[in-house]
């Protein structure tokens, strides 16, 4: 029962607060820069969605994992980074807007690519196939609730209450 409370309430609330803190450091210009110079976005998407699973597959030749573990490894290689990557990027003073954009886009894209990689891995390593579907609308809802909404709120606070945002940003970092 307590594990349910942690995963359904405490963890999402914590992520919301963390992402609100991240949003305090961002402005709309950070995101328009990504649209104006999309090379980093395209490179990030290509690396996460295409290159990472290929590298994962190549590593399986080196480490020769048992078939079930190989399938699990490929599933992990196909999964997006998530909100934690945004926090790490923020703390490291990286391009947080790019990280958030990559998280949002890859989270939607991987709803389609994870089943493909998983099915391919099941056939490749276990010789079987499954019909795997991930829920698109609930996934988009989680992305909005845990990433986009709190970051947007943080940005609004920064835009309209800059002094407050700067005071809150330091402890959030």
Q: Tens of pLDDT along 92-132?
A: 989 999 999 998 888 888 888 888 898 899 889 988 877 77
Quote the CA–CA distance of 48 and 40 in Å, as a whole number.
Answer: 12
Q: What is the pLDDT of residues 8-45, one digit of tens each?
A: 888 888 888 888 988 888 889 988 988 899 999 999 99
**Exposure of 35 in the CB half-sphere (CA atoms within 13 A):** 5
C-alpha distance from residue 136 to each of 44, 69, 75, 146, 150 (Å): 22, 26, 17, 15, 21
Percent of the chain with pLDDT over 70: 97
Query: What pLDDT, on the 0 to 100 scale, is given for residue 173?
Result: 57
Residues 6+ apart with CB under 8 A from 26: 96, 97, 100, 151, 154, 155, 158
Average pLDDT over residues 46-60: 95
Please check the confidence at residue 148 and state whether its pLDDT lies above 60: yes
Paired tokens of 56: 């994962």
Please check the confidence at residue 90 and state whether its pLDDT lies above 90: no
Please check the confidence at residue 156 and state whether its pLDDT lies above 90: yes
């Amino acid at each position: 029962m307590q594990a349910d409370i942690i995963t359904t309430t405490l963890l999402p609330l914590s992520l919301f607060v963390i992402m609100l803190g991240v949003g305090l450091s961002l402005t709309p210009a950070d995101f328009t820069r990504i649209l104006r110079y999309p090379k980093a976005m395209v490179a990030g998407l290509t690396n996460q969605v295409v290159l990472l699973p290929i590298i994962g597959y190549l590593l399986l030749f080196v480490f020769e994992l048992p078939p079930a573990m190989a399938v699990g490894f490929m599933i992990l290689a196909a999964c997006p980074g998530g909100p934690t990557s945004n926090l790490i990027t923020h703390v490291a003073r990286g391009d947080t807007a790019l990280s958030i954009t990559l998280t949002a886009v890859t989270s939607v894209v991987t709803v389609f690519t994870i089943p493909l990689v998983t099915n391919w891995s099941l056939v490749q390593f276990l010789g079987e196939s499954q019909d795997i579907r991930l829920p698109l609308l609930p996934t988009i809802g989680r992305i909005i609730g845990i990433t986009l909404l709190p970051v947007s709120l943080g940005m609004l606070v920064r835009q309209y209450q800059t002094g407050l945002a700067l005071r809150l940003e330091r402890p959030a970092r």
